[in-house]
Amino acid sequence: MTTQQTHLTAARVLGELKQCGVTHIVWLPDSEAGFMYEAMMSQHEITLVPICREGEAISIAAGLLVGGKKPVVLHQNTGFFESGDSVRGIALDLKLPLLILLGYRGWRGDVPATDSAATYTVPNLDSWGIKHYLIEGDQDVARISLAYKEAQKTHKPVAILIGKEYQ
C-alpha cells in the first residue's frame, strides 16, 4: 500500500499549530513558507510577529516563552545560518523548547541538491544536535505536533523542514 502524496496547505499547517496551542508565529517570509501568509493573516488565534532578519527570531521567541506564551519560529533555512549565534546562545544554551519551521530552499526530494542552502541545512542541524522532520504535503503535517511535543519534552529546539510541494 502506498500513501497518497498531497500538496501542503496553509490551513492544515495552521490547524496543526493551533492544535499544539501555539500563540505566536515569529516569521520572515520566504519562497517555501510564503504560502502561509494569507492564512495567517486571516485568523486571530495565533499572533504573527514579523521580523526584519532571522537572527531576531529566536530571541523574540525566547521572550515570549519566558513570558509564558507558546511561540514557534518560521523562516527559511538560509535564515537559520544567519541565526547561528542565537541558536547556540539562546535556543541551545538556555534549553528552549522551541519549534523552528524552516523553508527548505533547494530541497528537491530524492534528487541531489545543487543549492548550497539545501546542502548545508541538515548537516548544520545535525551538528547542533537539533532533530528535524520533513513535511512535503498534508499527509506529513502530523509531524508538526510530533516535533512540537518533542521540543517540550526534551527542552530543546526541534526543526520542521518545509519541502516545496505546497498549494
Q: Which residues bind another protein (CB under 8 A)?
A: 24, 47, 49-53, 55-56, 58-69, 71, 85-86, 88-90, 93-95
Residue 86 C-beta: closest distance to another protein, Å: 5
* φ, ψ (nearest 5 deg) of residue 78: -60, -40
Q: Specify the residue, 8 or 46, whose C-beta has the smaller distance to another protein.
A: 46
- Min dist CB 87 to another protein, Å, is 9
Shorter beta-carbon distance to another protein: residue 67 or 112: 67
CB of 158 to another protein, least distance (A): 18
In the bound state with another protein, the residue whose beta carbon lies nearer, of 84 and 109, is 84
What's the grid cell of residue 16? 496543526
What letters, b where the CB count within 10 A reaches 16 and e where it falls short, cover 84-122? eebbeebbbeeebbbbbbbbbbbbeeeeebeeebbebbb
